[in-house]
Structure 1
Amino acid sequence: MIVYTVGTFDLLHVGHLALLKFCKTLGDTVIVGVASDSVVNSYKPNVPVIPLDQRREMLEALDCVSQVQPYYELEYVTACMDLNVDIFVIGEDWGKKPHNLAVEDYLKSQGKQVIQIHYNPRTSSTQIKRNVMSQIHRKQQVELAS
C-alpha cells in the first residue's frame, strides 16, 4: 500500500512525527508531498522559516518516510495518479477548496481511501513561531527597561 500525505513541514515537530508514524501504520510506502515556498505563500501570509531543501532533507532522514516529493502547484491529483496512491492522509483543516475536492473526487472514483486525522494538540509550527516571537518581544522589553 502506498500512503501519501502533504504539508509544509516547517519547523518539524512532534505533531509532524505523529502524522508520519501514523501514515507508516497504514502501508509499507509513505510518500510525503512537501509544499514549495511559493505554494505556501499562495494560501498563507508568510513563506516557511525553513527552506524547502532543508525541510525535504529532514523528512528524508525519518525512518517512517520512504520518499519526499516537493510540489510546486496547489494541485494533488497529478501526484496521486503518478504515484499510484492507495491512501491519502489529510489533516483536520483540509477544507473544501476546489483543489482539495478534486483530489478527493479522483481518489474516490478510483476506489482509493482518503483518511482525515486530528492534529496532535501538543504543538504546531504556528505556535512555535508565536512562542519565539513572544520571547523576543519580552527580551526587547527587558532591554528597554534596563
Structure 2
Amino acid sequence: MKRVITFGTFDVFHVGHVNLLQRAAACGDQLIVGVSTDALNFSKKNRYPIYNQNDRMRIINGLRYVNFCFEEESLELKREYILRYNADVLVMGDDWAGKFDEFKDICDVIYLPRTPSVSTTQLIEVISSSEGNG
C-alpha cells in the first residue's frame, strides 16, 4: 500500500484545493493530509484563517479521496509527520518546488502544478474589498 501525505491550510476551500487533493490521492492508495493549525497559520501569515482549524479539518475529512487528516502544528515537524504516518510520497503544490527536497531520503517528493487563477489569499482580498461596496 502506497501512502501519500500532503499539507496545507485549506482555508476558504476552493477548486484549487480539490484539484490538488484529487491529484495527490491519485499518486498512491491512501491520502493523509496535514491541516495547518490556526496558530501555525498565524505564525506563517500573521493572520488567522477565516475558518477555524476544527471546521477546516471537518471539510478535509469529509472528502472521499482523503483517508485521514491530522493537525499540523509546526513546519519543522514535517519529517516527523512523514515518518509517523509511514508516507511513501510527499505531494505539495509547485509553489513550494524544491523546498521539500530534503525529504527525498525518506520518501518520494512530488510538486504538482497549482490551478491557474485560484488563490485563497486573492479570494479573501476580493471578498474583503467587496464587503464595503455592498
TM-score by length of 2: 0.91
Question: Which residue in 2 is equivalent to 1:135?
Answer: 130
CA distance in 2, matches of 1:46, 1:130: 13
Question: Which residue in 2 is equivalent to 1:5?
Answer: 6
CA distance in 2, matches of 1:108, 1:25: 19
> Relative to structure 1, is the Cα distance of residues 95 and 42 closer, same or farther in structure 2, using a 3 angstrom cutoff?
farther
4+ long deviations beyond 2 Å? none
Q: How does 1:90-129 map to 2 (within 5 A)?
A: 90-94=92-96, 100-101=99-100, 104-105=101-102, 107-110=103-106, 112-129=107-124
Unaligned runs of 5+ in 1: 140-146
Q: How does 1:1-146 map to 2 (within 5 A)?
A: 1-75=2-76, 76-94=78-96, 100-101=99-100, 104-105=101-102, 107-110=103-106, 112-139=107-134
Aligned partner of 1:138: which letter? N
Structure 1 vs Structure 2 CA RMSD: 1.5
Q: Which moved more, 1:126-135 or 1:23-32?
A: 126-135
Unaligned runs of 5+ in 2: none
Q: How many residue pairs get matched? A: 132
- Structure 1, residues 51-76: CA drift from partner, whole Å, max 9, x if none? 00000000001001000011111220
CA contact (8 A) 1:39 1:72 kept: yes
Please say which structure displays the higher CA radius of gyration.
1
